[in-house]
DNA sequence: CTGAAAGCGCTTACAG
DNA sequence: CTGAAAGCGCTTACAG
């Protein structure tokens, strides 16, 4: 299991160049030698050292995935999409998570440098400044704020955070809701900021000024804490737009524990459409991000760049998100 | 961004040996040269080529994670645990999923070979024979059937699939259930087989012979399909033990859609305790596998082996699973 | 403290 | 078709 190409050459009685040529099918080799080499390779359980290969050839067969973290159904679905495409194209995935901060981002990039042929990066919490691009390796950014001047250097896939939240808010207003609240995601994350802006835009457009914005977060606990805050208010809003599903689920759960009926008393809308949103009772109205497909599409773009050495200007894709209406929203009861 | 150690040496006016010594802090270097080298390295944005390094030194700083697939909350939680420990110890994760079959297993192993310092493998669907160990790299197996004779070569962390399911079944019997059904996971997976045996063992011990076993699977759709089969039976069982949570959630959802009340008409118990199990309505009674902690513990074991070149005999850990009682189970109504 | 040299395991022109 | 040789970018004894 620790044999080298030299061992195989010796065993087969040929030069190492010949072994290399047989194993890489690079050019014609005499039939008998070819067979001897193949047999020797199998007998010795020879596996080429990829480090030596990568040193010579430029490619590694690896794709680096840089994520803020790896937990939750959202990232799980994203990885599933990536994994499927990677598998079909014989790439392996090198995953570096938890680069919430700019400093960690640097070390994340370093840790994959030269070990991968391309990069898929999701970093919603980095500013365009902090995100200094690695221009000598093909990169696709997903849900990441990239400065306009850098847009032609890389491919970008974003979702319509602002428009989605705006549409969700408008939907509630159409149902007759007038007193709304918004639970915001982490301020540092650009997607959270965009969603918040979408809410405010819809309220402003409808001329509704009586709303509450609570700083929450992207986790269930944040939603539970927000529930406590809301319950302490004089009167509850009739509808709450929430920055993501986990937070919305936490909110719903905590409100119901206090006797608030969902959706009769309070309607709720989340964001992401994670699998749990459908399982929950009441099931959660939410904005669906086809994150699995996004992962697949991102990797396909990346691989075609790598394979074709495609140097054309970067493309920016902005995917729509779709409102999925479920049980957690309803028309407010009169009075 | 594509500079080599030679560029840094030239820029700093020293030999490449000196650059290497400065950057690796390996031994004393004159103060002025050290500073010149450090400055040059920063100016050039120099990042050492890890392939060249790995070729010389044995270590890579990588951990290979081999999984059957990557989707769902179970794997997501596992990865979260791994990621946390990896991050704290400056290791990166190389993930190779979808090796459901033995042939893919081989190529998965090859794709990480020499790129990682250790391996964490979860392969419940492989037989001990198919799982030919890579003995020259430290490995920890999780939830994987390892032949007894190989147990001293590697570390193993398994859960008590059999005992857990048995306890769950006994719990239902104690509640007064007499007519039970079992939805089994994929036959190929050893954990699924163990769980099934646990169910049968409990029924046998209680002298109950009137039970149904349905081949289902580990996904929601399998649970839904099983619901249809159960509904077509003459009379429904009063309780169903299910091989995992997603399947149980699918079953519950489909039964409820047909007007069956959970738990009044049918009690359900799952396995895994994924986050959705708590969100679901009714929430799901299930067997909790602390999979995040398992991931952490597995990687910690592995890292200590790597760091200490620990060659002591492999340890086998069998973790208990805990029954978490929630809303989906109850005493059967009289009559 | 420091440079020249050898070598990690491969691939690929270069000459036969 | 095939072997000897150079070289990918590093690290590490080896001599100063």
Ranges of chain A whose pLDDT falls below 70: 1, 26, 99-100, 334-335
Could you tell me the CA-to-CA distances from B52 to B3, B20, B25, B38, B56 in Å, in that order?
A: 14, 12, 18, 20, 7
Please report where in the chains the tokens 């949570």 appear, as a residue: B245
Cα A315 to its chain centre, rounded Å, is 18
Instruction: Quickly give A115 CA vs D5 C1' distance in Å.
Output: 28
Residue of A55, A70, A79, A135 to mutate, interface with B, max B Cβ within 10 Å: A70
Q: At what angle do helices A73-88 and B73-88 cross, to 10 degrees?
A: 90
Region for A27 from its dihedrals, namely left if φ exceeds 0, alpha if ψ lies in -120 to 50, beta otherwise: beta
Here the tokens at position B45 are 């944005």
Q: What is the rounded CA–CA span in Å between residue B304 and residue A250?
A: 38
- Cβ contacts of A151 within 8 Å, gap of 6 or more: A314, A316
Angle at B96 between CA A97 and CA B303, to 5 degrees: 65
Tell me what the mean pLDDT of segment B73-98 comes to: 91
* Least Cα separation, residue A159 to chain B (angstroms): 22
Residue B1's pLDDT is 54
Residue B133's pLDDT is 80
- CB B80 to CB A95 under 8 A? no
- CB A83 to CB B69 under 8 A? yes
- CB B83 to CB A98 under 8 A? yes
In terms of Cα–Cα distance, which of A70, A271, A247 is closest to A162? A271
Q: What is the rounded CA–CA span in Å between residue A106 and residue A108?
A: 5
- Enumerate residues 163 to 192 of chain B having a beta carbon within 8 A of any beta carbon in chain A: none
Of residues B54, B55, B276, nearest to A275 (C-beta) = B276
Q: What is the rounded CA–CA span in Å between residue A200 and residue A61?
A: 45
Judge whether residue A12 contacts strand D, using its CB and a 7 Å cut-off.
Answer: no
Region for B90 from its dihedrals, namely left if φ exceeds 0, alpha if ψ lies in -120 to 50, beta otherwise: left
Chain B CB contacts of A49 under 8 Å are 55, 114
In terms of Cα–Cα distance, which of A17, A12, A67, A68 is closest to A41? A12
Domains, chain B, in order of start with CATH, read 5-48 (1.10.260.40), 62-159+294-320 (3.40.50.2300), 161-289 (3.40.50.2300)
Residue A232's pLDDT is 95
Q: What is the rounded CA–CA span in Å between residue B218 and residue B155?
A: 26
User: Does the pLDDT value for residue B235 go beyond 70?
Assistant: yes
Mean pLDDT for chain B? 92
Cα B201 to its chain centre, rounded Å, is 26
Here the tokens at position B247 are 């399947």
Chain B CB contacts of A47 under 8 Å are 110, 113-114
Angle at B25 between CA B20 and CA B31, to 5 degrees: 90
In terms of Cα–Cα distance, which of B145, B227, B208, B212 is closest to B181? B212
- Enumerate residues 275 to 314 of chain A having a beta carbon within 8 A of any beta carbon in chain B: 275-276, 279-282
* Least Cα separation, residue A66 to chain B (angstroms): 11
Split at pLDDT 50, 70, 90, the class of B335 is: low
Q: What is the rounded CA–CA span in Å between residue B323 and residue B105?
A: 33
Of residues A52, A83, A111, nearest to B92 (C-beta) = A111
User: Does the pLDDT value for residue B259 go beyond 70?
Assistant: yes
Chain A CB contacts of B221 under 8 Å are none
Q: Is B112 helix (H, G, I), strand (E, B) or coil?
A: helix
Chain A CB contacts of B113 under 8 Å are 47, 50
Chain A CB contacts of B251 under 8 Å are none
Q: Tens digits of per-residue pLDDT, B38-60?
A: 999 999 999 999 999 999 998 99
- Cβ contacts of A261 within 8 Å, gap of 6 or more: none
Contact between A119 and A113 under an 8 Å Cβ cutoff? The reply is: no
In terms of Cα–Cα distance, which of B273, B242, B232, B246 is closest to B180? B242
* Least Cα separation, residue A270 to chain B (angstroms): 14
Contact between B37 and B22 under an 8 Å Cβ cutoff? The reply is: yes
Q: What is the rounded CA–CA span in Å between residue A243 and residue A165?
A: 8
């Amino acid at each position: 299991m620790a044999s080298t190409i030299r061992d195989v050459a010796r065993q087969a009685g040929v030069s190492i160049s010949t072994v290399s040529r047989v194993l890489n099918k690079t050019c014609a080799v005499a039939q008998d030698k070819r067979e001897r080499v193949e047999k020797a390779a199998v007998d010795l359980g020879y596996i080429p050292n990829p480090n030596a290969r990568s040193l010579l050839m430029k490619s590694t067969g690896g794709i680096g995935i840089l994520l803020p973290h790896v937990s939750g159904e959202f990232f799980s679905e994203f990885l599933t999409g990536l994994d499927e495409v990677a598998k079909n194209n014989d790439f392996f995935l090198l995953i570096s998570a938890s680069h919430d901060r700019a400093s960690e981002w640097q070390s994340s990039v370093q840790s994959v440098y030269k070990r991968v042929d391309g990069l898929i990066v999701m970093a919603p919490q980095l500013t365009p400044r902090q995100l200094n691009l690695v221009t000598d390796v093909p990169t696709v950014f997903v849900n990441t704020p990239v400065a306009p001047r850098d847009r032609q250097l890389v491919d970008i896939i974003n979702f319509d955070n602002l428009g989605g939240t705006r549409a969700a808010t408008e939907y509630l207003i159409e149902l007759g809701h007038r007193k709304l609240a918004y639970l915001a995601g982490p301020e540092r994350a650009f997607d959270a900021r965009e969603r918040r802006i979408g809410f405010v835009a819809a309220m402003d457009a409808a001329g509704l000024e009586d709303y509450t914005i609570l700083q929450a977060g992207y986790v269930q606990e944040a939603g539970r804490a927000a529930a406590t805050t809301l319950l302490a208010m004089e009167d509850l809003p009739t509808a709450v737009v929430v920055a993501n599903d986990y937070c919305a689920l936490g909110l719903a759960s905590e409100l119901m524990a206090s006797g608030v009926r969902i959706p009769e008393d309070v309607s709720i809308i989340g964001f992401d459409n994670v699998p749990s949103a459908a399982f929950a009772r009441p099931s959660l109205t939410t904005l669906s991000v086809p994150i699995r497909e996004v992962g697949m599409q991102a990797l396909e773009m990346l691989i075609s760049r790598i394979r074709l050495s495609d140097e054309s200007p970067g493309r920016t894709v902005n995917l729509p998100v779709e409102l999925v209406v479920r049980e957690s929203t309803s028309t407010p009861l009169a009075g």
